[in-house]
Structure 1
Amino acid sequence: MSNQVRIIPFGGVRENGKNMYALEVNEDIFILDCGLKYPENELLGIDVVIPDWAYLREHASQIVGVFLTHGHADAIGALPYFVSEFDVPVFGSELTIELAKLNVESDPQAKKFTDFHVVDANTEIDFGDETVSFFKTTHSIPESLGVSVKTPLGNVVYTGDFKFDQTAAASYQTDLARLGEIGKSGVLALLSDSAGAEQYGTPATENQIGNFIADQFAAHEGRIVVASVASNILRLQQIFNAAAATERKVVLMGQDLEKIVRTAMRLNKLEVPDEDLLVSPKDMKQLSPEQTVILATGRMGEPIKVLQRMATGEDKLVKITEGDLVLITTTPSHAMETTVAKTRNLIFRTGAHVEAIADSLRSSGHGAPADLQLMINFMHPDYLIPIQGEYRVMNRHAKLAEETGMAADHIFLTQRGDSLIYDGSTPMHLADSIEVGNTMIDGIGVGDIGNIVLRDRKILSEDGIFIAVVTIDRKKKRIIAQPKITSRGFVYVKASRDLMHEASELVTKAVQNNLDNKEFDWGHLKQDVREQLGRYLFDQTKRHPVILPVIMEVNQHAHHARAKKTTKGDAPTTEQE
């Protein structure tokens, strides 16, 4: 049988987050990362977005395992939903697996899953014709690993999130020699992180960032509020070090943060210089301002939202006041820049001072252009697949690869569901794509929110809702009660009495016309009311509210019984949308 390698992105291309890639080698499928992304503003009410794995359901028996690169949500966040459907082993470094377990245990559908396996840079897993091995990379969390899958047609290498930093601490260091070994053994395809492709200038080393945080702590005499992403273990370590050096205590805000910190401490991935460095929120009042560091964290943009609540007095535990230093240690995405600017404005109004790492240093957990080119030169891949980032950074990554001498037709800018196929006899090429959408999570609902619901939410948020309630007696062909018009988020009712009156008359006319029609149809009646109202309201207001006609029917017997004030049990029957 001839060999074939197939690479399918399920997420992580032309978007930020949701990393998930399927490597299909003959009859085996290897899942590389299983992440989520947090929604953009247009996904109203959606909590998180995960990959759509309809294709994988059809080929579930072929999946040999999930291979995780690191413990951030963009790599492990969708795992609880995945393992609740697919009973396959999950592999990752010690810290990555512990953080993955925290995610899985918090999900009722997945908490019984236990098939976790800890690997390190020395692990090799034999799957017959394929062998999976790992290599150390540098990211903002310890024990990040890249994945190399040795196939009969060559190595397929997935970098995960990475950068090069010659000052990185031991548990964050890249194994450069191992990269060279993989490159010498022959790399068929390199799936490489593109998120930092647009960075310019020389990025700061983590030593420089640590020193910047320490200097800010030393220069300020009052209380310090720090905003950081909860899973950025490296940043938490630098904050702890700076707090200990200035004889301050750190207050952990939030249960999720405490779980992550305690897990990292238990595994010795996060060192606490003083035993009594950490203080619970309930003991915070015992500290003087100059002793206090409040650590506000969350997922992605949430630390900034926490700061907003603290600045406006909405937070129950902390209110930012004059004399505080607010230190923003996250690097905001382009989408968050306006939110960060508004937040800083709110903080300055309180009399507090704001400093941000991004104002003074260029920091990122992702490789700068020179790092991306260095990875290409280590690996010497036959084919490059830029991943992890929006199209513009993937495209920039492709240009950087061409500068190293790669041919443009050996670089693939993919989108979700694309199938790259290589069989050893013809060049790698794009084959028939599969349909891969987004699965949206809203509360406990998984995938039950579609485009129609999102469209209605958008309309409701912009133009409101207009409800018309009418009671009819279909047999007597008459309206029992005049339409009751209700509006929310559309117009102010008391100031729009004429509009409401005209709308009521319009509904009455539309309903009566349908009652007089011999071919009475409920669906036609409601649609007629929607159309008549829709045209009128747009003509008067140039707005398109959601129009909800509620038609109730009173049957003749019940209506007659009610008129005679008979006993209960003869209540009117209704039909309602």
Structure 2
Amino acid sequence: MSNIKIISLGGVRENGKNMYVVEVEDEIFVLDCGLMYPETELLGIDIVIPDFSYLEENRDRVTGVFLTHGHEDAIGALPYFLQKFDVPVFGTELTIALAKLFVEKDSQTSKFDDYHVIDENTEIEFGNAVLSFFRTTHTIPDSVGVTLKTDEGSIVYTGDFKFDQSATPAYQTDLAKISDIGKNKVLALLSDSSDAESPVENVSDLRVAEEVVDTFRNTEGRIIVASVASNILRIQQVLDAAYKSWRKVFITGKQLEEIVDIAMKLKKINLPSEDLIVPIEDIDKYKDEEIVVLETGTTGEPIKTLRKMAAGKHPQVNIKEGDLIYIVTSPSVSMEVNVATTENMIYRAGGVVKQISDNLKASGHATPNDLKLMLNLIKPTYFIPVMGEYRRLAAHAKLAHEVGIPFKNIFIPGKGDVIEYKNDRMHMSGQVEAGNTMVDGIGIGDIGNIVLRDRKLLSEDGIFVAVVTISRKKGKIMSGPEVMTRGFVYVKENTDLIAASNEIVREVVEDNLNHKEFEWSRLKQEIRDALSKFLFEQTRRRPVILPIIMETSSRNRRK
């Protein structure tokens, strides 16, 4: 009898950062390795990736990484993972090509070359499981789900998916194979919950394509299309619509160019005419009604780039009177404030905003009816909703109960929760270390809660610096105190506050100099405490207080 564990290292109770671990006896299979873009409170953080600590503790048991599709939420953390692990990476043709694009840009992983291209007919035998794959429909071609066949039954992971009966061949779901999987014993299903609470079902992608064409034909000026770089389906629809409306396409951003180039070489994007895409440098040669600008950000996020365009700071294209800004991606909930702010900037610059979601429910994720269909096809004994915030996982759990799975067989995991199958039943058996690893520039995991708290304080109440030079030998202040502030108060209008702060620092320093047991740490802390109390009483604000104490002797100078 096999011992099986299922652990979510990311992708549960959050949006993105998908990473799931399935252990079968002594083998560990890693399903997806994604990142998450930071929410507003993560000031200065570039991306968030899973915590690999548990896998590092069991690195000898990791058999490989199995990728479901080429979006950042599934492959974005791979460069950071491969800095720590030398294991094979499995994925479909386009998924591997995009994974290489991410990995090769990192100097520490650029030489990694243990990739294995799979398709829906591939079966990989390991010691305790056989892995196979099935085609799914998503907003990028070559998306698959993963099946791990064990002695106790199969573990099925859907990846991102939806059902669309009018999908083109490159995006069609293999319903027959999914049905065949369900005819045998499926021990557990891990299924996409991103749209589980949607009250509206998705329209077909054929209807979305018609909407894009109508928008292009009924617009007189330039069209600036904002899309996620790896949304290949939407990019194809934009190219088709530009061709049908007699427009040329101009691509901004190196990452978008690279992704489009890869997709075209692999024939995952079909170019309606060879001269459809024109170098951005030639945009001034065309009339406004002949132009479509396809843009995205450096990290695949188009909203930040739109703000630059609206502010007149984009190096290639800026928004002008008469432009239509067409947002063809659905921003996450955490981006709503940024989207609203960006829309205001666009209108001030003379542009008009239209979102594809204004008229249509267009998503790459399964809505409730699709989710129940997947459950009915797979027929799992146990169900584990993944991918999404808690309310979405809970909504998916309710759907599973509606199709006949008892609540006792449904597990809503948190990050690090261990769901174990042992002695003929599945149960929660503990936790492993799991959380967020924040990437800021070249720093990985060196930003913690204290740093984020200080950044938040700096952004809200500013900084207050007190500088003083002392001589312990003479027991007196040699220079200062001098108080400086940034982002706290306007100094010229608060001279009394500054003078009083100087006096407080002077009193604290003199009191410590007269103390027989002088301690640098105590002096700095007493300055912080005294100033913090005084400034809060006067302003009801708490700036970051930074005492800088220097000593006249060069050998003993302190800061």
Q: How does the TM-score come out when normalised to structure 1?
A: 0.95
Q: Partner of 2:453 in structure 1?
A: 455
Aligned pairs for 1:138-217 (under 5 A) are 138-217=137-216
Q: Deviations over 1:325-365 (max 9, x none)?
A: 22111112222233323333333334433322111111100
Task: Please state if 1:519 is matched with 2:517.
Answer: yes
Choose which of 529, 534, 551 in structure 2 pairs with 1:553: 551
Q: Partner of 1:32 in structure 2?
A: 31
Contact 1:223 1:325 in 2 (8 A): yes
Q: Partner of 2:476 in structure 1?
A: 478
Cα distance in 1, alignment partners of residues 426 and 47 from structure 2: 34
Name structure 2 gaps, 5 residues minimum: none
Q: Partner of 1:391 in structure 2?
A: 390
Q: Partner of 1:222 in structure 2?
A: 221
Contact 2:34 2:78 in 1 (8 A): yes
Q: Partner of 1:258 in structure 2?
A: 257
SS at match of 2:434: coil
Q: Partner of 2:347 in structure 1?
A: 348
SS at match of 1:322: coil
Cα distance in 1, alignment partners of residues 353 and 40 from structure 2: 26
Contact 1:395 1:413 in 2 (8 A): yes
Structure 1 residue 427, shift from structure 2 partner: 1.8
Aligned pairs for 1:391-540 (under 5 A) are 391-423=390-422, 425-540=423-538
SS at match of 2:425: coil
Q: Partner of 2:67 in structure 1?
A: 68
Aligned pairs for 1:235-384 (under 5 A) are 235-298=234-297, 302-384=301-383
Structure 1 residue 301, shift from structure 2 partner: 7.8
SS at match of 1:382: strand
Q: Deviations over 1:440-470 (max 9, x none)?
A: 0000000111111111111111111111111
Structure 1 residue 299, shift from structure 2 partner: 6.8
Q: Deviations over 1:415-454 (max 9, x none)?
A: 000000002x242000111121211000000011111111
Q: Which moved more, 1:93-102 or 1:146-155?
A: 146-155
Q: Partner of 1:559 in structure 2?
A: none
Contact 1:237 1:270 in 2 (8 A): yes
Q: Deviations over 1:291-343 (max 9, x none)?
A: 11101113788312222222232223222222222211111222223332333
Q: Which moved more, 1:305-314 or 1:214-223?
A: 305-314
Larger Rg: 1
Structure 1 residue 574, shift from structure 2 partner: 5.3
Q: Deviations over 1:149-189 (max 9, x none)?
A: 01121100100000000011111100000001111111101
Task: Please state if 1:43 is matched with 2:25.
Answer: no
Structure 1 residue 573, shift from structure 2 partner: 4.1
Contact 1:84 1:113 in 2 (8 A): no
Cα distance in 2, alignment partners of residues 140 and 512 from structure 1: 68
SS at match of 1:21: strand
Distance 1:506 1:351, change over 3 A: closer
Task: Please state if 1:54 is matched with 2:48.
Answer: no
Q: How does the TM-score come out when normalised to structure 2?
A: 0.98
Name structure 1 gaps, 5 residues minimum: 556-571
Structure 1 residue 194, shift from structure 2 partner: 0.1
Structure 1 residue 133, shift from structure 2 partner: 0.3
Contact 2:250 2:292 in 1 (8 A): yes
Q: Which amino acid in 1 is paired with 2:532?
A: G
Q: Deviations over 1:384-417 (max 9, x none)?
A: 1000000000000011111101101111111000
Contact 1:301 1:332 in 2 (8 A): no
SS at match of 1:210: helix
Structure 1 runs (4+) deviating above 4 angstroms are none
Task: Please state if 1:576 is matched with 2:558.
Answer: yes
Cα distance in 2, alignment partners of residues 263 and 353 from structure 1: 32
SS at match of 1:22: strand
Q: Partner of 1:120 in structure 2?
A: 119
Distance 1:477 1:350, change over 3 A: closer
Q: Partner of 1:565 in structure 2?
A: none
Cα distance in 2, alignment partners of residues 28 and 408 from structure 1: 29
Cα distance in 2, alignment partners of residues 185 and 146 from structure 1: 16
Cα distance in 1, alignment partners of residues 286 and 451 from structure 2: 49
Cα distance in 2, alignment partners of residues 87 and 488 from structure 1: 47
Contact 2:253 2:298 in 1 (8 A): no
Work out the percentage of aligned pairs sharing the same amino acid. Answer: 55
Aligned pairs for 1:79-118 (under 5 A) are 79-118=78-117
Distance 1:338 1:301, change over 3 A: farther
Q: Which amino acid in 2 is paired with 1:509?
A: E
Cα distance in 2, alignment partners of residues 475 and 349 from structure 1: 63
Structure 1 residue 267, shift from structure 2 partner: 0.3
Cα distance in 2, alignment partners of residues 523 and 121 from structure 1: 64
SS at match of 2:21: strand
SS at match of 1:338: helix
SS at match of 1:35: coil
Q: Which amino acid in 2 is paired with 1:147?
A: V
Q: Deviations over 1:40-97 (max 9, x none)?
A: 0100000000000111111000000000000000000000000111000000000000
Cα distance in 2, alignment partners of residues 190 and 486 from structure 1: 59
Cα distance in 2, alignment partners of residues 338 and 464 from structure 1: 23
Cα distance in 2, alignment partners of residues 53 and 151 from structure 1: 25
Cα distance in 2, alignment partners of residues 223 and 490 from structure 1: 43
Cα distance in 2, alignment partners of residues 298 and 182 from structure 1: 39
